[in-house]
Amino acid sequence: MPVLWAGRLTEKPEGEAFAFQASLAVDRRLAQEDIAGSRAHAAMLGERGIIPAETARDLDRELARIAGELEAGTLAIDPGAEDIHSFIEGVLTERLGDPGRMVHAGRSRNDQVALDFRLYLKRAIPELGAELSETMKALLDQAEKYAGAVMPGYTHLQRAQPVTAGYYLSAWCAALDRDRGRFADALTRLDECPLGAGALAGSGLPLDREATAKALGFRGPTLNAMDSVADRDFALETASACAITAVHLSRFCEDLILWASEEFRFIRLADSWSTGSSIMPQKKNPDFAELIRGKAGRTAGNLVTLLTLLKGLPYAYDKDLQEDKESLFDSLDTVRSCLRMFRGMTASMVFNTEAMEAACVGGFLEATDAAEYLVRKGLPFRRAHEAAALVVRDCIRAGQRSIGERSLPELKVRSELFEADLYQALSPAACVAARNLPGGPAPEEVRRQIRVLRERLALG
Ligand code: ARG
């Protein structure tokens, strides 16, 4: 297949050198977008009288045919082509002759690749958004199921205050909802069509940029041609949204890995979402959670790759930009598969409510509630904090595992304000129920949070 730029050079890079500068292996996944862009461009060229109307029709028909053949697998992409743009134009020319040679009027591969990339993201980002939404739905179902299942909440990985498993899960749904927002924002900003920007400076031909933008489903054409071919902000924003989502899943998985351990026994992962050991017969390993945790690394790496690629890059287009797609495609693929695996794994996991409830006892998770009990009776918080801390010390010295194990006279040594009604306020369930402010872990408040998140999902 001849290269598109054969005229100027007497020789072209051969073998390994040609392969080094080629991008087909990566950009072949833009084939359908490239064809869609060419069809819109050819139609516009015909409308504008830049090419004969009949040629425009021929181009459209042949491009549609090529799209169908690629889809059906009856046309193989020539691995020797330089990139997907060259390949499609090459096939057109092979089949149509001169009409094929007319399609690139007023266009450069620089605006073409920027267009293809944006078109691809206009499809891929909503698909990823749908995976995020499905994942949230599955988590919210679990959150609802476990809205009353008390468990220790942690700070510094030390038991802090009783919460519920449903509260924990809805916390992560709030984070995933922000991820949805980040992808949606990226999509809004990238929704401008670079076609017609040419190499960097537009074209003297009477192109209709509004028409091609509209035909391709964009809000409108990009404002400045030079910016259009140089800009990869949309790749950075999408890679960033991917990396943040992956980091969320990674943190979540770290908790699940801990909780699946014999030390915690808070959750049981389904056998089908676990693996065994080739040597230790007893093992059940949370490999899926570990891999999701690990894969966050490559999404962070891809973001850094893109930032580094762009740093100091002279305006406008440079071939360096060809390196952009591999990183972003990898981030999109990685986050998509992580979300799907994460969803299957978490939808089938079972919380061990007994072990979680038992873990709420012994670590004095009720101490904050004891202090708040005293505040409610008028004691300044700092004094209440101290009194509760001293009660905890008394308990530890006496070998008691919770404040409720102390008698009222023993408690009164630390504050006269303690009364018998304290005891009922200290059970894990009571501590959780008392924290019913907006954002709190009380079961009915968590159910409200779940409703809000479901409403947001319904809005799209
Ligand atoms: N394969 C190239 C890319 O991905 C297409 C643009 C090439 N443009 C050029 N002037 N060499 O960026």
pLDDT, one tens digit per residue, over 352-383 is 999 999 999 999 999 999 999 999 999 999 99
Across the range 29-58, mean pLDDT stands at: 98
Question: How far apart are the CA of 326 and the centre of ligand 1, in A?
Answer: 14
Q: What percent of the chain has pLDDT over 70?
A: 100
Tell me, what's the pLDDT at 364? 96
Q: Is 107 in the pocket of ligand 1 (CB under 6 A)?
A: no
Atom of ligand 1 nearest to the CA of 27: 4
Across the chain, mean pLDDT equals 96
Tell me, what's the pLDDT at 190? 98
Question: How far apart are the CA of 25 and the centre of ligand 1, in A?
Answer: 13
Question: How far apart are the CA of 333 and the centre of ligand 1, in A?
Answer: 23
Atom of ligand 1 nearest to the CA of 5: 11
Q: What angle do CA 389, 357, 420 make, to 5 degrees?
A: 50
Q: Is 109 in the pocket of ligand 1 (CB under 6 A)?
A: yes
Q: Label residue 11 by pLDDT band (50, 70, 90).
A: confident
Q: Label residue 13 by pLDDT band (50, 70, 90).
A: confident
Q: What is the per-residue pLDDT across 152-169, written as a single tens digit (0 to 9) for each? A: 999 999 999 999 999 999
* pTM of the predicted model over 0.85: yes
The separation between CA 58 and the C-alpha centre of its own chain, rounded to angstroms, equals 41
- Report the SS3 class of residue 269: coil
pLDDT(323) > 90: yes
More confident residue, 300 or 3: 300
Tell me, what's the pLDDT at 326? 98
Q: What is the per-residue pLDDT across 399-450, written as a single tens digit (0 to 9) for each? A: 999 999 999 999 999 999 999 999 999 999 999 999 999 999 999 999 999 9
Are 195 and 213 in contact by the 8 Å Cβ rule? The answer is: yes
Tell me, what's the pLDDT at 352? 98
Across the range 386-393, mean pLDDT stands at: 98
Atom of ligand 1 nearest to the CA of 23: 1
Question: How far apart are the CA of 218 and the centre of ligand 1, in A?
Answer: 22
Q: Whose CA is nearest to atom 3 of ligand 1?
A: 322
Q: Is 23 in the pocket of ligand 1 (CB under 6 A)?
A: yes
pLDDT(41) > 80: yes
Place of tokens 């080094």: 20
Q: Looking at 30-34, 271-275, 300-304, 436-440, which range is the least confident one? A: 271-275
List, in order of start, the domains of the chain with CATH numbers: 6-105 (1.10.275.10), 110-157+164-351 (1.20.200.10), 367-459 (1.10.40.30)
Tell me, what's the pLDDT at 395? 98
Question: How far apart are the CA of 37 and the centre of ligand 1, in A?
Answer: 15
Atom of ligand 1 nearest to the CA of 113: 5
3-state secondary structure 78-89: CCCCCCHHHHHH
Q: Is 372 in the pocket of ligand 1 (CB under 6 A)?
A: no
As annotated, the active-site residues are: 156, 277
Q: Is 170 in the pocket of ligand 1 (CB under 6 A)?
A: no
Q: Is 86 in the pocket of ligand 1 (CB under 6 A)?
A: no
Distances (CA, A) of 307 to 69, 301, 330: 37, 10, 15
Q: Cα–Cα distance between 183 and 191 in angstroms, integer?
A: 12
Question: How far apart are the CA of 322 and the centre of ligand 1, in A?
Answer: 6
Atom of ligand 1 nearest to the CA of 83: 1
Backbone angles phi, psi at 265, to 5 degrees: 55, 35
pLDDT(2) > 80: no
Tell me, what's the pLDDT at 426? 95
Q: What angle do CA 353, 356, 358 make, to 5 degrees?
A: 105
Tell me, what's the pLDDT at 58? 98
Place of tokens 């499905």: 134
Q: Is 110 in the pocket of ligand 1 (CB under 6 A)?
A: yes
Q: Is 83 in the pocket of ligand 1 (CB under 6 A)?
A: yes
**CB count in 10 Å sphere of residue 176:** 22
pLDDT(393) > 90: yes
Tell me, what's the pLDDT at 110? 97
pLDDT(246) > 80: yes
DSSP 140-202: HHHHHHTTT-EEEEEETTEEEEEEEHHHHHHHHHHHHHHHHHHHHHHHHHH-EE-TT-TTTT-
Q: What is the per-residue pLDDT across 133-154, written as a single tens digit (0 to 9) for each? A: 999 999 999 999 999 999 999 9
Q: Cα–Cα distance between 290 and 370 in angstroms, integer?
A: 38
Across the range 118-147, mean pLDDT stands at: 98
Q: What angle do CA 444, 437, 153 make, to 5 degrees?
A: 80
pLDDT(214) > 90: yes
